[in-house]
Amino acid sequence: MTVAERIRSKIVAGLAPSRLDIVDDSQRHVGHAGHDGRGESHFTVVVVADAFEGKSRVERQRLVYGLLAEELADRVHALALRTLTSAEAEQR
């Protein structure tokens, strides 16, 4: 299973998002810190989930970081997150 697939699986299981976009940005970071040539080290993730309702931006990010603790401790060097409720996503 790829890192992106593990990220998807864990976020789906933990947050039941109505939308989940995962973009592997690793190739844009060749030569930067944290890029060791294996790839799947830098991601941009958009999560729309009602589980974020009533939570601050930091609380939302901590939820996602908690779900992805293994990946962040191993392979993932950078994770750009956008976390929205369904209502916030509809407004945009």
Question: Which residues touch 77 (CB under 8 Å, ≥6 apart)?
Answer: 29, 33, 34, 35, 41, 42
Listed by start position, the domains of the chain span: 3-91
Confidence of residue 45 (pLDDT cuts 50, 70, 90): very high
- Give mean pLDDT, residues 5-18: 98
pLDDT of 29 strictly over 60: no
> pLDDT tens digits for 47-79?
999 999 999 999 999 999 999 999 999 888 889
Q: What does pTM read for this prediction?
A: 0.87
Residue 22 near residue 7 (C-beta atoms within 8 A): yes
Output 64 or 40, whichever has higher pLDDT: 64
Has domain 3-91 been given CATH number 3.30.300.90?
yes
Calpha distance 6→68 (Å, rounded): 9
Q: What is the mean pLDDT of the chain?
A: 90
State the Rg of the chain over Cα. 13
The vertex-41 CA angle with 37 and 44, nearest 5°, equals 140
